[in-house]
Structure formats: structure tokens, C-alpha cells
């Protein structure tokens, strides 16, 4: 991925695609289809470039991002920041600690240790 100029995800149906997080983490500009799951992570014009899921629209989106270098750099940097804020190791550890702290007291009296 690090040697790529662009990351393209052409799914018609998607959940929470980890591959988008990976692409964001190496500062790749993203072109992806505007479907649920993807649009939850890729915000058009901010963290990536969303298109309809036709081959023609994908090609147009890819060409646009590749020809507009400042736009590509901006969405790639924004995507990287988004990934760091929501999916970094530090964020995952913080979430686990918070969840544990919130739930330990809640369940402490329900189990005999």
C-alpha cells in the first residue's frame, strides 16, 4: 500500500472495512463507493472521495483525485488524522480502559471472587 498513489474501494455492500483504516493509516488518498459502512468512515471531500458504484463513476473519481494533487494530499492527511483519532492503538487501549472502568463497578457485586 505504501507504494501506491491511490486506494480504491469499489464495494456495493460493506460493513466496517478494515482495509480503509489501513489505507488511511499510510496517508493514501481514497476513492470509494458511497455505500453504508464506507460513508461512515469516508466523508466526501474531507477524508476521501465518494462516488456512485458504477465503473464509469469510479474511473472519473480516480482520475479526478490523481489530477488534483492538493486535493489528494488534503483528503489523505484528513483521513490519516481520522484514523489516528478513531482507530489507533492508543485509542483502542483508551477505549478498553474506559469500558473496563465503567463496567467493573457495575458488575463487581454480581460475582463472588
110 found inside a domain: no
- Looking at residue 78, which CATH number applies to its domain? 3.40.50.2000
- The CA distances from residue 64 to 30, 34, 51, 77, in Å, are 11, 16, 11, 17
Give pLDDT tens digits for 30-71: 999 999 999 989 999 999 999 999 999 999 999 999 999 999
Q: Where is 31: in which H helix or E strand?
A: strand 30-33
113 found inside a domain: no
91 found inside a domain: yes
State how many domains the chain has: 1
112 found inside a domain: no
68 found inside a domain: yes
Give pLDDT tens digits for 13-22: 888 889 999 9
Residue 87 sits in which domain range? 7-105
Amino acid at each position: 500500500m505504501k507504494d501506491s498513489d491511490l486506494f480504491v474501494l469499489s464495494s456495493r455492500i460493506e460493513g466496517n472495512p478494515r482495509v480503509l483504516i489501513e489505507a488511511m493509516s499510510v496517508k493514501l488518498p481514497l476513492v470509494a463507493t458511497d455505500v453504508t459502512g464506507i460513508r461512515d468512515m469516508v466523508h466526501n471531500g474531507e477524508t476521501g472521495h465518494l462516488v456512485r458504484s458504477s465503473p464509469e463513476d469510479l474511473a472519473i473519481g480516480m482520475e479526478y483525485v490523481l489530477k488534483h494533487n492538493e486535493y489528494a494530499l488534503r483528503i489523505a492527511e484528513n483521513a490519516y488524522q481520522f484514523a489516528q483519532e478513531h482507530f489507533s492503538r492508543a485509542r483502542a487501549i483508551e477505549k478498553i480502559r474506559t469500558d473496563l472502568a465503567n463496567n467493573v463497578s457495575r458488575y463487581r457485586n454480581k460475582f463472588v471472587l
